[in-house]
Amino acid sequence: MNLNHPTIRGAMACAALLLTAAVAHGDTDAKPAGEALLNELTAPTVNQLEELVLKSSPLKAAEGYASYYAARFIGRRTTSGYRYHPDKMTAAHYSLPLGTVVRVVNPATNQEVHVTINDRCAPKRFPFIDLSRAAAKKIGLWGKGKIRVVIIPLMEGSVEEPA
């Protein structure tokens, strides 16, 4: 489970605040419910949370191809204004809104990675995403040039600089 994902961190923070508020106000009945909520959020049921986020997103999943940034782009500014860093989990897409968190799955190996869209790439006739080096390595793309993937937009608007 990726506890550093912004959605998970936010949900855990809300649960912790609810638990703290209940205890501070002397509401002893709320404490077990708050603990249960916190335990539920930290349990390895990330797929249920992702399903809820996916259902609420107007963006659709698509099968397409993934590639990765060439070394010559290291340090160059992306469309969002950040500099490309190969060790961050970022990607370029031709149409998804900047700041969108996307799950990219390699169906051949079931490896997946969550990336934040922070750059644009050239439009293609098919869904296409350009991954950072770290993201490419995580799904088994590194050294292959281009592979078939499933691109699943999870949510719009990253709350922090891309990871």
pLDDT tens digit at each of 163 positions of the chain: 445 555 555 544 544 444 444 444 454 444 455 555 555 555 554 555 555 545 545 567 888 899 988 888 889 999 999 999 999 999 999 988 999 999 999 988 989 999 999 999 888 888 889 999 999 999 998 888 889 999 999 875 543 455 4
Rounded Cα distance between 163 and 152, Å, is 18
Rounded Cα distance between 112 and 46, Å, is 13
Rounded Cα distance between 13 and 101, Å, is 19
CA distances from 98 to 22, 37, 79, 81, 101 (A): 38, 32, 8, 11, 9
Rounded Cα distance between 72 and 158, Å, is 26
What is the per-residue pLDDT for 72?
A: 85
Q: How many residues does the chain have?
A: 163
3-state secondary structure of 154: strand
